[in-house]
Amino acid sequence: MPDVTPLDRLNVAEAAEAERELLACCASRRWADELLARRPYRDLAGLRRVSHAVLDELSWADIGEALAAHPRIGERAAGAGQEAAWSRAEQAGAAGASERTQEDLVAGNVAYEERFGHVFLICATGLSGEAMLRAMRERLGNDPATERDVVRAELTKIVDLRLGKAFTS
């Protein structure tokens, strides 16, 4: 009898349990509901394809719901849940940055939120604090429509990574 994989468990889990697992990857309820409705998934690649398609179609309000679950770059995610643990690991480069860079990230977060009305989102995995700060400063020059496209792309990268962590054996 083959081993039961995390993806197999997602495919057969009760809706509430499966939704909790998916919401750790992306806090948009519409995204999670769409992925639940399209079960079962043969493999991680199929799950990711559906995720990408759904993320492309989400309204900005749905994206905003996902953004609300992300801490500011440079702030340590609170809580003991899977999403908070992933966020702390993803932002490790910011945590190890110099005091000056951390101060600049705080100031940059304020400027970004004043300009765009939401948290600065970047797929921080593998990036240094300095690289995140450079990206933040560059993106502050974007017009709102361009920045929304960038945010959606960054969210897609984060969700893709998290799906791999959650549903790979």
- Residues 27-60: tens digit of each pLDDT: 999 999 999 999 999 999 999 999 999 999 999 9
Within a domain: 158: yes
| Domain range for 68 | 6-167
Check: CB of residue 147 under 8 Å from CB of residue 139: yes
What is the distance, to the nearest Å, from the Cα of residue 105 to the centroid of all Cα atoms in its chain?
Answer: 19
3-state DSSP assignment of residue 121: coil
State phi, psi for 70 to the nearest 5 degrees. Answer: -95, 130
Within a domain: 10: yes
* Nearest C-alpha neighbor of 44 from the set 27, 25, 59, 63: 25
Residue 79 has pLDDT above 70, yes or no: no
Task: Give 108-140 pLDDT, tens digit per residue.
Answer: 999 999 999 999 999 999 999 999 999 999 999
How many Å apart are CA 120 and CA 168, to the nearest integer? 28
Residue 89 pLDDT class (50, 70, 90 cuts):
confident
Within a domain: 49: yes
CATH at 27: 1.10.3330.10
**Count of domains observed in the chain:** 1
Within a domain: 154: yes
Within a domain: 1: no
What average pLDDT does the segment 70-99 reach?
76
Name the one residue in this structure whose structure tokens are 């765009």: 116
Within a domain: 17: yes
